[in-house]
Amino acid sequence: MFAILSTQFEKADQINPGLIEWIKSDSYLTLPTGTSRTPFYCTRLEESPVEELDILFDWIRSNLVSCANKLAQGSNSAYFGSPDWHRNFDIADYWGMWYNKGASAMEHNHWPYAMSFAYYVNCPEGSSPIIIDGNEIQVESGQLVIFAGHLIHKVEPCPVDNRFMVAGNIAYLGSLGAGVVQW
């Protein structure tokens, strides 16, 4: 069973400079762990603040069913018995994170979301890895990591400045994503 998926985005060089500028300009909150964060955005209710996010999200969306299929392998999930038109997912919300030296992320998860993602915009040499379910994943600029939303993850204090990333949650929509009206 796959619990964590990782891949590189081929358009990273095109979008990452704009994403860094967005995170820098939109970071308004410094968390107790020293990390700066943008507001939470809902993809269904709000227009993306920068075009680069639309490019990234279009790519992520195009791979969500494939990711869910891989994450569910070996799980004996009823998901595999559902018709293809039932397999609908979308990005529910997202935010940007800016880690400078000493900044971290406390251990947490994103349940009840089906999946969560972390896209690494800038990872200077020596950047802290993300630790998901006890697995340390070295990250680099342009890398996307998708994992089951219930998995515990954290980031140890960063030894370098300017580690930027975009994080978010992916919701399972089931037949609602296929145009079925909810009553």
Lowest mean pLDDT among 16-30, 62-76, 99-113: 62-76
What does the mean pLDDT of the chain come to? Answer: 91
Read off the pLDDT of residues 26-81 as tens digits, 9 standing for 90 and up: 998 999 999 999 999 998 877 889 999 999 999 999 999 999 989 888 788 877 77
pLDDT at 98 over 60: yes
As a whole number, mean pLDDT of residues 8-12 equals: 97
* Predicted structure pTM score: 0.91
Q: What is the pLDDT of residue 86?
A: 76
The residues, ordered by sequence, that sit 6+ positions from 23 with a Cβ below 8 Å of its Cβ are 36, 38, 96, 97, 98, 121, 164, 166
In whole angstroms, what is the distance from residue 160 CA to residue 157 CA?
A: 9
In whole angstroms, what is the distance from residue 15 CA to residue 158 CA?
A: 23
State the fold for domain 4-73+88-174: Jelly Rolls (2.60.120)
Lowest mean pLDDT among 53-57, 74-78, 95-99, 127-131: 74-78
| Residue 53, token pair as written in the block | 């996010």
pLDDT at 183 over 60: no
| Domain edges within the chain | 4-73+88-174
CB count within 10 Å of CB 101 equals: 13
Helices 51-62 and 64-72: crossing angle, nearest 10°?
Answer: 50
| Residue 6, token pair as written in the block | 């990782």
As a whole number, mean pLDDT of residues 157-179 equals: 88
Lowest mean pLDDT among 44-48, 113-117, 134-138, 163-167: 44-48
In whole angstroms, what is the distance from residue 171 CA to residue 183 CA?
A: 20
In whole angstroms, what is the distance from residue 182 CA to residue 77 CA?
A: 24
